[in-house]
Structure 1
Amino acid sequence: MRPETRPFGKDAEARPVGDPDRAAELRARVEALNARFRHHGATAVLRAVLTERVAGDIAMVSSFGAESVALLHLVAMVDRATPVLFLDTAMLFPETLVYQQDVAEKLGLRDVRVLRADAAEIARQDPYGALHLRDPDACCALRKTVPLEDALAGFDGWITGRKRYQSQGRATLDFFEYEEATGRIKVNPLVHWAPGDVRTYMDENRLPRHPLVAQGYPSIGCRPCTDKVADGEDPRAGRWRGQNKDECGIHFVNGRATRGAS
């Protein structure tokens, strides 16, 4: 579980995550960082985050999905020792597991941490692997949200691949945001990128594609909850198809899970 106190940066004085003065300081820091980098790009943001440590101790969270390799490559060009957190839900496509290893090796990532749910909790809550059928939100919480929160307990912030174009709820995202629920700073280096930018970057740098993209999976999650997408459909139409759900719960704004890519 997340400790009740956690310092911002190695030299900061530990204070409760919910401390109002600490929250005010972090909100002010985020505002100042967004002002500083308003006219900069992803590489400048990552250099400041990973070398100047403007957001404290930071990790990257990656699904190693359809577009993940672009941001992973950018991070690797700045600091290959950046901790990269990868959630293995035990329900991923085999292709994703192979792709994760291939990409990590190709990019020379030195600190990929594979996260898994607690075995005892899996046995207690989902002994037959069918929780996703009756309560997909609970399945995501068990296999994604809780393990990720545990892994992030030692960090002041994390890097995400979220972009403004992905959903209406992300249309006003900035490079930096303060996550009220956890007291962390989230960094979104690709926030201003368009779909074509990702493809162009991958082409220009000859980055490996996730093999399932060519098979009709433009957005890739867990095997039981991901379908192929037909031409003309929204790229995320295959995620939790037919259910009133389009997010996995790892992104929070004002204490609420936000909709969008996981």
Structure 2
Amino acid sequence: MDKIKDKLAGFNQQLEGLSLEESIAFVKENFEGKKVFSTSFGIEDQVLTHYLYPEANDFYFFTLDTGRLFSETYEVFQKTQTKYKGLQIKTYLPEEKEIQNYIDSDGINGFYDSVESRKRCCFVRKVVPLKRALEGVSVWVTGLRAEQSQNRETMAFLEWDEDNQLVKFNPLMQYSLSELEAVVNENNIPINSLYKKGYLSIGCAPCTRALAEGEDFRAGRWWWENGKKECGLHIHMEKNN
């Protein structure tokens, strides 16, 4: 484990100052095994899709469909595949039996009742499908940025994900929102139409609202809760902070 972390620390130093294209090429050249990119079609993931598309033979794309997404999310999914011809994005769905068990025990919208119930819902709809998506994977590319929340400020470009036993690559770690918007505008990248309505972090429809002026990026997610706003996909980050 220490050898892995030392190796990643050295690589992180080499990644400092590289462009997005250069950092993607670096990871492609220095890591063996299956590399995947998870997209939820937010602005970060749309920018990464644009840059990873030419490398789609080396980076496999996937998304998690929780069954409770906004219709606008499906729209940008379709627009993305229209723009990037031939791009395959594998969709992972929750198990029907597990969804039924959750509804039977907690109710269709039980996630509003307690943090524990909400986390159970996230576990069934996101974490379990993610585990399937990450089977046999060596590198997982994400759109996480340090600016998004306090518990993401200590991220590195490359991290060891103990829970999933793989390397997590966060190429947009140091990007600001304004920099992402500039890339989107310059390259005519499709984005979720909810984004311009104040939805800067878009998840499931019942659990996402638009941001009020001055609120941080994650305030619109599970807004009825206090504390750290993570769903379990990046749970190891909570352990490290």
> Do both proteins adopt the same fold according to a TM-score greater than 0.5, normalized to the shorter chain?
yes
Q: Which whole-Å CA distance do the structure 1 matches of 2:52 and 2:200 have between them?
A: 22
Matching of residues 74-223 of structure 1 within 5 Å: 74-79=51-56, 82-108=59-85, 110-127=87-104, 128-134=107-113, 135-223=117-205
- Would you say how many aligned residue pairs link Structure 1 and Structure 2? 235
Per the alignment, residue 31 of structure 1 pairs with 9
* Per-residue deviation, residues 43-100 of structure 1 (Å, max 9, x unmatched): 11111223x2526321001111243211111111333663112110000001101211
Q: How far apart, CA to CA, are the structure 2 residues paired with 1:70 and 1:208?
A: 9
Segments of 4+ in structure 1 off by > 6 A? none
Change (3 A) 1:257 1:81: same
Paired residue type of 1:252: I
Describe the superposition over 1:131-161 as per-residue Cα deviations: whole angstroms up to 9, x where unpaired: 3233111111110011101210120120011
Residue 60 of structure 1: aligned partner: 37
**Structure 2 counterpart of 1:249, from 232, 235, 239:** 232
After TM superposition, the score normalised by the length of structure 1 is: 0.82
Structure 2 partner of 1:19:
none
Whole-angstrom distance in 1 between the partners of 2:237 and 2:224? 27
Amino acid at match of 1:195: L
Other-structure match for 1:13: none
Q: CA RMSD in A?
A: 2.1
SS in 1 for 2:221: coil
SS at match of 2:40: coil
Identity of aligned residues (%): 31
Describe the SS at the equivalent of 1:156: strand
Q: Secondary structure at the match of 2:159?
A: strand
Partners of 1:173 and 1:224 lie apart in 2 by 29
Aligned amino acid, residue 60 of structure 1: F
Shift in CA distance, 43/67, structure 1 to aligned 2, threshold 3 Å: same
In the alignment, structure 1 segments of 5+ residues that lack a partner are: 1-22
**TM-score, normalised on structure 2?**
0.88
Decide whether the 8 Å contact of 2:37 with 2:141 is kept in 1: yes
Note if contact 2:143-2:172 (Cα within 8 Å) is conserved in structure 1.
yes
What CA distance in whole angstroms lies between the structure 1 residues aligned with 2:240 and 2:96? 25
In 1, Cα distance between the equivalents of 2:174 and 2:35?
21
